Each structure stands twice: as structure tokens, then as C-alpha cells.
Amino acid sequence: MRLDARAWARTGRPVVRQYREERPAGVAVVFDPRTSAATSGTAADDRFEAAVSRAAAACEAVGRNGGDLALFAAGREVHRFRGAGRAALDTALDALAVAAPVDPHDGDPFADPAFWSGLEVVAAVVLITADAAGGEGSTRGALIRRLGAGGRIVLSTPGAAG
């Protein structure tokens, strides 16, 4: 707060200006555990573990840069946070530690309406996918379009080729 001398001179009464500190909007980190090769081979396991590492790095980067980790999702498991801090990061890392690959034929892990209702406070989404396959027409493409609805910025990191 501060006194506004020019407004005081115009009105003849003291005028106080109040400022509100702008905070960065919430960020959602979404980990898509679907992989077309959920049960086959070391290459699929390596891709999945690399995706888990990228998701952990994204959560850590949001907190380190002063952002609010508003939502974290690892498939059907969704966590909502009310602010930045070590507790939010620890909760996200704990969820990632027990994440397991999901076969895409087992259904959509993001079908729960509770996941989508948590996105109204989110300005940006970091989407980490475990599957190397799929383009804009794939399930990843559909998820990117749905996450971007409402003007949200979506940063997507596809799985690395094995």
C-alpha cells in the first residue's frame, strides 16, 4: 500500500493504492502411463522409466521456479494441491514411485470427471507420456486437445523411441 499523491491532489482527500502481488497460475503435471507394450520387453520398461523420470523432473521444475503445482495425475490417481512447496513435490514423487504401465486397451485412465474438474485453476499443463507411438490422431493427440480446451497451454513430451 502507498499514498497516491496525485489522486490526493485531485480529490482533496488522501487516496491509498493497494497492490496485489501477482502469483503464477497453477500448473498441472499429467503423467500418462499408457504404453502399447505394457508387458513386453526391456525397451518398453526403459521407455516407461524414462517417462517417470521426466514427470518427476517436471514436478521439481515447477516448484523450483516458484510455480504452484495445482494438480498431479498419474493415470487414475489424481492429487490436487493448494500451493507450492516441498510437500506437493513429495506427494507427486511418491505417486510416481509406485506408478505402473497401463495397457491402453484397459480403458482411459483419464475418464474420471474428477480429473477434469480440477483443471479450472490450471493455466498450463505438462503432459508426460510413456508411449513412443502415436501422433496427433492418437489417444495422446486427443488428450492434448482436451487438456488444451479453455486456452490452457499444453507442453507435451512424448515417450522416447526405444
pTM of the shown model: 0.71
Alpha-helical runs (H) found in 12-75:
41-64
Q: What is the pLDDT of residue 76?
A: 67
Q: Which residue has better confidence, 159 or 143?
A: 143
The string of pLDDT tens digits covering residues 110-152 is 777 877 877 777 888 888 888 765 544 467 788 888 888 878 8
The string of pLDDT tens digits covering residues 58-107 is 888 877 766 677 667 776 677 776 556 677 778 888 888 888 888 777 77
DSSP assignment string, 84-130: -SHHHHHHHHHHHHT---B-GGG--TT--HHHHHGGGGEEEEEEEES
Report CA Rg, the chain. 21
